[in-house]
Amino acid sequence: MPDAPPQPGNNNKNVWRQIGRYSNLGMILPAAVIVGLLIGAALDHWLKTSWITLVGLLVGCVAGFTELIRGVIRASKET
């Protein structure tokens, strides 16, 4: 089955879709690190400890890198 001919506005939508996808990738890592840090700090304050903040920071980093890698793989398969 042949591909449909390109529509005049279709290319413009594709560009905006790529911009949205890649800007999302740029926000994943910092957001995960900040969320992990905040949860760790809140647990430290609640449990009156001093080491859970570091654990939350590390968990946030791991989660952020995992999602970043998944997003890059997903984006490379779609192009």
What parts of the chain have a pLDDT lower than 50?
none
**The pLDDT of residue 7:** 58
Residue 54 CB contacts under 8 Å (≥ 6 apart), including other chains: 40
Could you tell me which of 24, 70, 11, 60 has the C-alpha nearest to residue 39? 60
**Total-model pTM:** 0.73
| 40 neighbors 52 (Cβ within 8 angstroms) | yes
Opening angle at CA 18, ends 13 and 23, nearest 5: 130
pLDDT for position 11: 65
Other Cβ atoms less than 10 A from the Cβ of 60: the count is 22
